[in-house]
Amino acid sequence: MRSRKPVLALFCLWIAASVGCKATAAAPAGFVDASRLKKDETLPFHGAWRNPARDLTYYDKIWIAPVDTSHLLKMDLWKEGEAGASGQLAEDVEEIAVKAREYLTQVFKEPPEGVESRFTVVDDSKGAKTIRLEIAIVEIVPSKTILEAASWALPYGTGILLAPINTSTAAMEGRFSDANSGQVILAFADREGEQLRPVDLGGFTWYTHARGIMKDWARQLVEVANQKPGEKVKDTKFYTIKPW
């Protein structure tokens, strides 16, 4: 039986070299006013803007809008990968948008352990003390399943070295706004890449990692909505030992 030590050593070296890494910010897509976004160390996003006159603590109900897909950034053929070549990418992004709204609704109804949420999810987009959460998916880069399969043919797990050219990413822009006035309370934008892992089974499907990023954003957003003054919402770890 081949030793797993070289694989683990390579993975550890990769982690050591990548500590603190995060996918680079996406270009502005126009869903929010990118000129106002700045890095906020208390938030897990590339950029954010807080309304100095209002804050989220006033609200106790939330309406989650259908996730927007009309602001998708133009991607080259390499980024689109096999999904783009198949002609399915646009349709697939629409399906991911539906799932993303489901993730958001679920996490606000049943917050993750350790998060105390004061919000009730409502079906009415207007109402007293109600805030709107609007998200736009502006990029989905699918996994390249052929390249993932080829990486498994390399010895001792060295296929991990192909990660820089075979990384699934997603980018979004979003805002919390007053349900009645439409006044923006918090705007934000972020791009995330798939988590590095020693064994990557999710890479054999186009969108496993993209859906994982949507779930991570949902968890972060419920924390952001319930954030206390001075509290920091942590970003997603860039690595995991889970295979998908």
Residue 75 half-sphere exposure, CB side, CA atoms within 13 Å? 23
User: pTM for the complete prediction?
Assistant: 0.78
Cα distance between residue 87 and residue 74, in whole Å: 15
pLDDT of residue 96: 92
25 has a pLDDT exceeding 70: yes
* Average pLDDT value over all residues in the chain: 79
Choose between 58 and 146: higher pLDDT: 58
Distance CA 44, CA 47 (A): 9
State what percent of residues in the chain have pLDDT above 90.
52
Comparing C-alpha atoms, which of 176, 214, 233, 244 is closest to residue 45?
233
The string of pLDDT tens digits covering residues 60-105 is 999 999 999 999 998 656 465 556 545 678 888 999 999 999 999 9
Read off the pLDDT of each residue in 37-62 and give the average, rounded to a whole number: 96
**First-residue to last-residue Cα distance in the chain:** 24
Do 192 and 216 contact (CB within 8 A), yes or no? yes
Going from N- to C-terminal start, the domains of the chain cover 35-225
pLDDT of amino acid 106: 96
Q: Which CATH number fits domain 35-225: 2.60.120, 3.40.1350, 3.40.50, 3.30.70?
A: 3.40.50
User: What CA–CA distance (Å, rounded) separates 122 from 104?
Assistant: 13
Does 21 score more than 60 pLDDT?
A: no
114 versus 194: the higher-pLDDT residue is 114
